[in-house]
Amino acid sequence: MGLMEKEKLFYFLLMFVLLIGVEVQGSHHHKLFIFGDSYVDTGNTAKSTSSAWMEPYGITFPGKPAGRWSDGRVLTDYLASFLGIRTPIAYKWRKIGLKLLRYGMNFAYGGAGVFNTLGTSPNLTVQIDFFQEQIKEGVYTKSDVESSLALVSIVGNDYDAYQARNGTLKGLQAFATSLINQLSMDLRRLNDLGVKKIAVTSLQPVGCLPGNNNLASLNQCNETQNEISSVNNLLLDQAVQVLNKSNEGLKITVLNLYEAFLSILDSPANQGRWKFENPLKACCEGINSSYSCGSTDENGNKMYRLCEKPHSSFFWDIRHPSQHGWTALAAYLRPTFHTLS
């Protein structure tokens, strides 16, 4: 072997060692633990009951339904990628995905809330119980948890359940107050378990979701519904300030989904390289109000409509952003991501 070849080999080995070093260091310092609902779930919901396991979910990534409520990636994937780690394993797969345990774990379930919602998904308290169990079993050490980041994205389904049970927004302020009080207790509990850094999402402008803005014939957001988000987010900001002041060594950061959504939906100029055709319209929806994206009839016929270009839609279905939508949202949130590391 000539001198040049030896130098090349040495350089290659050095780069390899450095890359491994970065990987080991990254995985040590940034385990990511996720709690919440369908905006961050990466496969926990049951295949038998969840449309996220039905076609056409997952058509952009990974190419088939995989339990994500989108045509592709969701917020969890973007935050993990920013931290330089692989997407943490869904709690449901923890026994078979042992290699992925080192990146953290995802305890989020589509349909979940801080309180019990209309479905059977484990609420936030139960998700944290699952996390505590992993610590007790020694899957994660004290230093794993202390150097980790927790992502919490949860309250949307609570407000849906509230409206469904009450038929009105009457008493919203009192309900929102009790909800944020419970969320504060849950965040404090994560801190008591050793987590020092938490990112919590504000509530997206729910009146802009295609399922809620039919009144405005998909041209503008439903401002009555958006009032829910405003009330929630004001209380959340106040609660986070109190928690950060009163708990030394705890840093909670709000990921402002509300502002991110509105920035993209309100102004085509803000969409930059992400051009969305009719951004308030879902790419995939049921053929009528009896059906939803992914629905089939008893003969297996598709009972949904799919747009031609998912990458030009901000919303995938009537509640969730498309992968392209999440790409734009993650770009907007990137400056906040930088404060988490």
Q: List, in sequence order, every beta strand (DSSP E) within 204-298.
A: 251-255, 284-286
pLDDT at residue number 23: 39
Asked if residue 42 lies in contact with residue 74, where contact means CB atoms within 8 angstroms, the answer is: yes
pLDDT at residue number 29: 52
Residue 324 lies in a domain: no
* Residue 130, CA atoms < 13 Å, CB-side half-sphere: 22
d(CA 145, CA 149): 8
Residue 232 lies in a domain: yes
Q: Largest alpha-carbon pair distance within the chain?
A: 81
Q: Which of 38, 148, 292, 322 is catalytic?
A: 38
Residue 312 lies in a domain: no
Q: List, in sequence order, every beta strand (DSSP E) within 202-293.
A: 251-255, 284-286
> What is the tally of structural domains in the chain?
1
320 is catalytic: yes
pLDDT at residue number 230: 98
Q: Please, is 322 exposed, middle or buried when counting C-beta atoms within 10 Å of its C-beta (0-12, 13-18, 19+)?
A: buried
Q: How far, in whole angstroms, is CA 145 from its chain's centroid? A: 20
CATH number (domain holding residue 239): 3.40.50.1110
pLDDT at residue number 271: 57
Residue 286 lies in a domain: no
Structural domain including 156 reads 30-267+335-340
pLDDT at residue number 10: 42
Residue 318 lies in a domain: no
Residue 283 lies in a domain: no
User: Nearest 5°: phi and psi at 220?
Assistant: -150, 165
Residue 186 lies in a domain: yes
317 is catalytic: yes
Residue 276 lies in a domain: no
Q: Which of 202, 317, 322, 324 is catalytic?
A: 317
d(CA 52, CA 41): 10
* Residue 119, CA atoms < 13 Å, CB-side half-sphere: 17
User: Nearest 5°: phi and psi at 21?
Assistant: -60, -45
Asked if residue 293 lies in contact with residue 316, where contact means CB atoms within 8 angstroms, the answer is: yes
CA distances to 206, 219, 261, 325, 332 from 271, in Å: 19, 17, 11, 10, 10
Q: Which of 148, 320, 322, 324 is catalytic?
A: 320
Tell me the mean pLDDT per 10 residues along the chain, length 341. 49 40 44 98 94 97 97 98 96 93 97 96 98 98 96 98 94 98 98 98 96 68 94 98 95 98 79 78 94 95 95 95 96 96 74
29 is catalytic: no
Q: What's the predicted TM-score (pTM) here?
A: 0.90
